[in-house]
Chains A and B, each alone.
Chain A
Amino acid sequence: MSISKEQVAKIATLSRLSLEEDKLDQFTGQLSSILQYMEKLNELETTDVEPLYSPVEQTTVLREDVVEKKFKREELLANAPEDDGQYFIVPRII
């Protein structure tokens, strides 16, 4: 299946990416040929095949849900692009 430039622009927005005009053209071509290649899977009849989403099919081992205090606030804010010592700061929302 080929994909249109408008579709690519829409996917970019859904992905929270903005693409320059020339990139949009380039990606349209590339994404189309990749998706076309993926069509190959339609050659296979899979109606009765259960999807395999993870190689671990047995029940995963869960730990007790216990709250632990492992890090100081400063440590967790240390990588923030902007903070006020208490919170992460973002541009105005409303």
Chain B
Amino acid sequence: MTKGGARYNSSGTACIGLADITDSMMVIKKLIFEEKKITFPRLLDAVNTNFKNDSKLLAQIKNKMVLFGSGDEEALAMANRVTKLAHDIFIEHENYRGGKYTAGFWSMSNHVAFGTLTGALPSGRLAGKAFTPGLTPEPHASRSILDNIRDVAKLKAENMNNNIAFNVKVVPGVQETHQKNVDIIYSYVKTYSDLGGMQMQLNVVSSKTLRDAMEHPENYQNLLVRISGYNAYFVTLNREMQMELIERAEFNI
């Protein structure tokens, strides 16, 4: 079938947890190296014990760190450094067809499965919890979805040559007209593309609805949600995946 050689022979990879890694690196950079507020052994001990004996450090990380997706230039630079590292390592390797390995940043539902197998991280993500889906920022990175959108749009596309998945959950206001909701979402997507973004996927649903669907699946047989690169019927997902969707950042429109 490939006799004569296919023009594009690459193999794609999918990297999970860009925001988790970026935010963890920022904690190490800021708290240990720059501000010298904590030591490596203290952080290591906190991570090894799932922050059980160091709730103060966990609070400090959760509330006072600038994260990827907050509009902070340094955090964005760190995210670009991480994607470049992954890209540069993969591209050096050749697959059995003689093609290159490309770096992608999307997770299907694996960010949940892999999360259950992984211990705590310097970012304050606790053991067993899901990683961030695709390359989506942490829910508490910013109160404004615009910061998320701008940061993701500014990630360098050349480092993400096996594409990305950027998940956004928006909740329409009860008082808003359908037209206003459509206009606002249009503006998010249009601006994201104008700024250089290449992919985003939206769930327009509230956590309240999703919780109700967990309790009364019989009423929500047709509720379709976007996971991270594909759609699924919410009621058919396992509990961990359902919880991850609920815990995603929720922005009111």
Q: Do these two chains really belong together in a complex? A: no
